[in-house]
Amino acid sequence: MRVRVGLGCLLALSACSRGCAPSSPEGLSATYSYLVTPSGEMFRLLKTGPFYGAQHEKLGTMVFYAGATREVKRIETDAETLVAALGPEMQAAGEKALMVGVNVGYDPRKAFSQSDSYNVLFALADGRWIRVVRKGDGPQELSGGGTTTPPEDPLFPFDAERTKAGAIAAAQWVALLDSQDGDAAVAAMTDTFRSQVTQAPGPWQTVLARRKGLAPGRKELYRMQTRPASLTTPNSSVVTVAYETPSQGGGRVLERVAMVCNPKGCQSAGYGFQPVPAGTEGVGAQRALPMGRQ
C-alpha cells in the first residue's frame, strides 16, 4: 500500500494512498501492508481498487486482505472491523459502496498462489456503513475446512514495535499542531517534507488555519505499516496513522499522518486533512458484483 509523502498529502488523500500494494523487489507477488485496528487486530492487506457493475460502471471500492479463517461468520465479522477502520476514509473519498474481499491461502513467497475468496458488501446509508445481507443461504465456510494462517512475508515482515513507535510519534507530532507549535512540527519532519513546506509555505499555512476549527475528541482509526517503492532499504518503512476528529461545527475531519521510521527513529513525512461528508444512501450497492465465494 503506497503512501504519498510530502506536500501532496496536505490537502487531499489519493486512492493509491489507501490501497496500492507495492511489488516486491525480487519480482515476486506483492507484499502485505499491515493495518492494525485500535483493538489490536492486524490485517494483512493486499490491494484495493474499484469494482464494477454489469454495465462496467464503477460502483465502489474493493479492499482485499489475506485471511486466517474459512468460517464465513468470522469473515463477515472481520470485514465489519476493517470497515470501521477504513470507512471514514472511504467516505471522505466520496465512495458509496465498499466491498471487503478475503483471500484464504494466499502466499506472498510465491509468484502465484491458489486461494479461496469471499466478498462482503457494505453500502453507505445516513453516514453509516451497513452490511448488505446476502439473499438465500450462503456457505458456512470456504472449501478446505479449518483455520489457516497466512505465511509471513520474508521480504517485509510485520514489525509490531516499529508500528507502535510510529503511532506514538504520530500522536506527538499531531499534538504539536494542536498546540499551534508549527515551528516544532516542521522541525520534526523529514528533510524532503520540510523542504517542500519551507519552499511553498502557502498550503501549509492553510492547513494550520483550518485546523483551528477542530474540537477535542480525536480517535485513532488505524495504524498501518507499509513499504513504498521509494524506500528501498529493507529496514525502512512508513507508518501511517489515521484519525477521526470532530470539528466545532459538529462535523468530522479525517487526519492522516505518515511517519518514516527506521532504527534511528520516526519523522513526519506527510499529513492529510479532509472533511468527512455526512453521507447519503449508497448508490448501486444492490447491483454490485456477486457476493461471496468467487
The closest of 71, 76, 130 to 98, measured between CA atoms, is: 130
Q: For the chain, give the percent of residues with pLDDT over 90.
A: 56
pLDDT for residue 101: 96
Confidence band for 131, pLDDT divided at 50, 70 and 90: very high
Q: In whole angstroms, give the CA distance from residue 101 to residue 120.
A: 6
Note the pLDDT tens digit of each residue in 184-216: 999 999 999 999 999 989 989 998 998 999 999
Domain with CATH 3.10.450.50 in the chain: 160-276
Q: In whole angstroms, give the CA distance from residue 227 to residue 256.
A: 16
Query: Is the pLDDT confidence value at 23 over 50?
Result: no
Q: Which residues lie closer than 8 Å to 169 by C-beta, 6 or more apart? A: 239, 259, 261, 265, 266, 267, 268
Query: Is the pLDDT confidence value at 230 over 90?
Result: no
Give this prediction's pTM. 0.83
Q: In whole angstroms, give the CA distance from residue 211 to residue 48.
A: 29
**DSSP class per residue in 220-284:** EEEEEEE--TT--STT-EEEEEEEEEEBTTS-EEEEEEEEEEETTEEEEEEEEEEEEP---PPSS
Q: In whole angstroms, give the CA distance from residue 67 to residue 50.
A: 20
Query: Is the pLDDT confidence value at 294 over 50?
Result: no
Q: Which residues lie closer than 8 Å to 36 by C-beta, 6 or more apart? A: 42, 43, 163, 222, 223, 224, 225
pLDDT for residue 145: 62
For the segment 248-261, the average pLDDT, to the nearest whole number, is: 92
Query: Is the pLDDT confidence value at 107 over 80?
Result: yes
Domain 160-276 -> CATH class:
alpha beta
User: What are the helix (H) ranges across the chain?
Assistant: 72-92, 160-178, 182-187, 191-199, 201-211
pLDDT for residue 24: 36
pLDDT for residue 237: 78
| Residue 212, SS3 per DSSP | coil
| Residue 62, SS3 per DSSP | strand
